Chains A and B, each alone.
Chain A
Amino acid sequence: MQKNRCTLALIAQRVRYILMVIIFVGASMLHLHLGVRIVLRRSIQNLMDLHISYDEKMRRRYNWCYDFMSFIRKNTPDDATILFPHQFVWSYSNGYFLLPRRLHYGNREILRKLKPPVYVVIYKEFPTFQVEGPRMIHDSLSGLIHYQPKSTGE
């Protein structure tokens, strides 16, 4: 009786060994296959992107926004103050492209509080109030107004 029980335990142990080997090897192979595919695909993409400029890569992701940010960067000094519309679509990330420029969001009241010169962003219908100053046009939707009231001594 005891001998039979020992044999049964031994068989159970061997079955477990075999099952463990099948599951471990099988699952590991499938997992590694999945991982290798991703690593290879991304590495090939990286090799293809080696000659592409930073601007081009960013443009791929941010499209119009990146072009507009580059336009603002090109036309404003590093210490410029810029006024964006209150709910500008890219308000959370535009600081990444425009810092160290000081960015503000709002309307005429905010503009009055800012010390000129201020660059007011043209975006769709914004600004809805009158802003004097030379205009720099980016496209039909967007641009910049260099606001500098005459009273400041321009």
Chain B
Amino acid sequence: MIVFILLLCGILFLGSSFTSLFKCKLSWWERFGLAYGVGLGTLTFGVFLLSLVGAPFGKYTLVFALAVWLAVIWYVKRKRRDELNLRIHWDRPSLPEITLAGGILLVSLASLVESVVQPIWSLDAVAIWAVKGKAIFSLGTVRVAGNYGYHAFYPLNIPIAIALFYHFGEPFVKSIFPFYFMAMLMVFYGSLRRHGCRNTAFAGTLILALTPLVYVHSTIAYADLPMAFYYTSSVIYLYAFFKENNRAFLMLSSVLVGMGCWTRPDGPIWLFPNLAVLTIYALRRKQWLDPVLYVGPILFFFVPWSVFTHYIIKAGTIFYLDAALKSLKQLLTLNIETAHLWKILCHFYRECVALGSSGLRWGYVWLLFFSVLLLYCTRIRKYSYLLAVIGLDILVLFFIYYSALLDGRAVELRGGFNRVVLHFFPLVLFQTILLISDDIRRWRSKADTRRSY
């Protein structure tokens, strides 16, 4: 147990050192949340890079990878004469805030308890992620992962993390996912707090924590929640860049998308909305270098894995690529099958408005988002960049669903492809809270004025 806590501390230390390289104002909550996700992502990537030069998987490789990363970070920091900043700012909370924080803590604890009590038993979780993790752990090498389970081209962030946690026994393995859940809630709260008041931020975080699909994914061992953490954080910091024009936020966002690409094979697909909106921003502001800078860290995480799968283990083609290309061709030539579009719209209606018939429901977040968007249509201009990212994300989602239907996998809309929407919940909630927080701020100032009279 002590070694497990030490490992967690090591991951958090690595993550906080890494994020401190970006000179941007982050709250303590955000730093702590990012420290886990970024720390684990960099550590597994380091282990993977070491395996490319023949290093076996084991305790010594882990310690070596950790030491190399820390040495590089501390070298850069020393060159820039930076210092590690982990100062805690804590205002005295009010009673509603304590109640909301207690609710969030309870949900997080329930998720952690479930991960310890229930073993990894979901079919895909075992066959895609856990079996690879166990192979790396038992056979002591990262290279064998592709021989076990299916989809050898799936990135190894989660399998290596599983192998890492296997050192402490089976019950600890699934705790990777509740920690990602908590990290996501922390980053979400911290970034909402930056743009609005504390009560709204807590309420928004509680709504996110109690979103059925998000909660359920924190208790099963799929890589979709870690992917949602990386992608959501990247969009949140991209928005911070649009607002403050601080390149540190841009680089942080880029690193997070890169880690998303290192977590799931659909990472590069979700890069498209970010890059498209960033290019428009760069063109309008004449900051030509921004999109180029944005792609750099993503390639750092994406290229080694692509080279490894294509040329070293020869993992074969990505199974949905053919369907994606076929549907892209149809969309570009406007030869669209309306029956498929109708099916997707019906699916959206069922999940967003009629609350779905599947067990893993989307909840009322989307309904909330579209209603608030309609009410505040006059304020859309203020949040145009963030809304553009969400809009493009919805288009990408349509494209993914359309490709799935073309590929004859209609049944997966409710199953496998339902998981693709996981990062929408935090994004859509973030936007909703931003839209209404202006009004809440106005009410509070009016109430304060009245009270002072």
Contacts and interface: CB of A to CB of B under 8 A. Distances in A.
Interface in B358-380: 361, 363-365, 367-368, 371-372, 375-376
Contact of A42 (B110, B150, B170): B110
Contacts of B375: 16, 19-20, 23
A60 to B, nearest CB: 8
Contact of B134 (A39, A58, A95): A95
Contacts of B139: 99-100
B116 to A, nearest CB: 9
Interface string B296-316: 000000000000000000000
Contacts of A100: 138-139
A35 B372 contact: no
A49 B118 contact: yes
A8 B127 CA distance: 62
A132 B367 CA distance: 66
Contacts, number: 109
A138 interface: no
Contact of B368 (A23, A39, A42, A49): A23
Interface in B420-434: none
Given A28-B207, A99-B135, A100-B138, A93 B127 contact: yes
A11 interface: no
Given A42-B114, A49-B117, A57-B118, A34 B368 contact: no
A31 B436 CA distance: 18
Contact of B118 (A19, A39, A46): A46
Determine the interface band of chain B, counting residues with CB < 8 A from chain A. Answer: 35 or more
Nearest to A96: B131
Contacts of B212: 34-35, 38
B219 A42 contact: yes
A39 B210 contact: yes
A10 interface: no
> Contact residue range for chain A?
20 to 34
Given A31-B210, A35-B363, A95 B131 contact: yes
Nearest to A17: B439
B119 interface: yes
A79 B365 CA distance: 51
Nearest to B171: A54
Contacts of B211: 31, 35
A137 interface: no
Given A34-B363, A96-B130, A20 B138 contact: no
Given A93-B131, A93-B149, A35 B210 contact: yes
B207 A31 contact: yes
B365 A58 contact: no
Contacts of B210: 31-32, 34-36, 39
Interface in B195-252: 203, 206-207, 209-212, 215-216, 219
Interface string B114-137: 100111010100110011001100
B368 A31 contact: yes
A90 to B, nearest CB: 9
Contact of A34 (B126, B131, B364): B364
A34 B360 CA distance: 11
A93 B126 contact: yes
A23 B372 contact: yes
A4 to B, nearest CB: 20
B127 A35 contact: no
Given A34-B212, A95-B148, A96-B126, A24 B436 contact: yes
A136 to B, nearest CB: 23
Contacts of A42: 110, 114, 216, 219
B113 interface: yes
Contacts of A96: 126-127, 130-131, 134
A61 interface: yes
A99 to B, nearest CB: 4
Contact of B361 (A27, A28, A34, A60): A34
B134 A38 contact: no
Nearest to A22: B371
Contact of B170 (A27, A32, A34, A54): A54
Interface string A47-64: 001100010011011100
A70 interface: no
Contacts of A58: 119, 121
A20 B437 CA distance: 11
A20 B438 CA distance: 12
A24 B114 contact: no
Contact of B113 (A34, A46, A62, A93): A46
A27 B118 contact: no
A46 B117 contact: yes
B371 to A, nearest CB: 5
B107 interface: yes
22 contacts: A24-B436, A27-B364, A27-B367, A27-B368, A27-B371, A31-B363, A31-B364, A31-B365, A34-B210, A34-B364, A38-B212, A39-B210, A42-B216, A46-B117, A50-B117, A57-B119, A60-B121, A92-B149, A93-B126, A93-B131, A99-B131, A99-B139
User: Which are the 7 A-B pairs with shortest beta-carbon distances?
Assistant: A35-B210, A100-B138, A92-B127, A31-B364, A27-B368, A61-B121, A99-B138
